[in-house]
Amino acid sequence: MKINIAIDGPSAAGKSTIANILAEKLNYTHLDTGAMYRSVAYKAKMLGIDTADEENIVKMISGMDLDMKPDGTVILDGEDVSLKIRENDISMGASNVSKLNGCRVALVAMQQKICEGGGYILDGRDIGTVVLKDAPVKIYMVASAEARAKRRVLQNIEKGIEADYDAILEDIVKRDYQDTHREHSPLRKADDAVEIDTSDMSIEEVVDTIMKIVIEKMEK
């Protein structure tokens, strides 16, 4: 029987990278919830809708055609926006729309419906506390802001996206504050989550650590 795995943590902690590798190893599906909020922010930008305008954001979501492919490709209204939603301004926009309760309710309902049968790995900021409160495995990944900024720079360079370390670090610090202080579903560690500080860990070390937790849980 397949279980659901929840991975939470701040921006650029490596959640999506780790979730992708775990999904491949376990033959699970990684549902990138952050990409869902980024897609909302991207469409709002394209339509000229203020990311603080909850009423129009919620109306926009109701007519949004969002297809999350198992390989990580994000198709929004028939367009591949996988790279476009990773730009810095979209990151801040995603943080803004994630503060809107109406937006969260709509997207959380989508996520819970998708995960009903098990076999999913979700990463975000409120997976273990809101979206998958009953997930057998909950991980809370953290890392210093500096370590996360360096990783984001490398990721952006690899994808051909602008990579200014100081600007990225500033955005990460701002987003940390927003995510932990927002009114609805703020970023926090679930009481039953295992915290892993990845600042000085390699990707392989993080994956091995989580795999041991998953295997132990599945053997019980």
3-state secondary structure (DSSP) of residue 35: helix
pLDDT tens track for 150-208: 999 998 899 888 889 999 999 999 989 988 998 888 899 999 999 999 999 999 999 99
Tell me the C-alpha distance between 132 and 5, whole Å: 8
Q: Is the dihedral of CA 86, 155, 5, 24 positive or negative?
A: positive
- How far apart CA 192 and CA 138 sit, in angstroms, is 7
- Name the E strands within the chain: 5-8, 29-32, 66-68, 74-76, 79-80, 120-124, 137-142, 194-197
Q: What is the pLDDT of residues 68-127, one digit of tens each?
A: 887 889 999 999 999 999 988 898 899 899 889 999 999 999 899 889 989 999 998 889
What pLDDT digit, counting tens, does each position of 128-153 carry?
Answer: 999 999 999 999 999 999 999 999 99
pLDDT beyond 80 at 220: no
Distance of CA 170 to the CA centre of its chain: 19
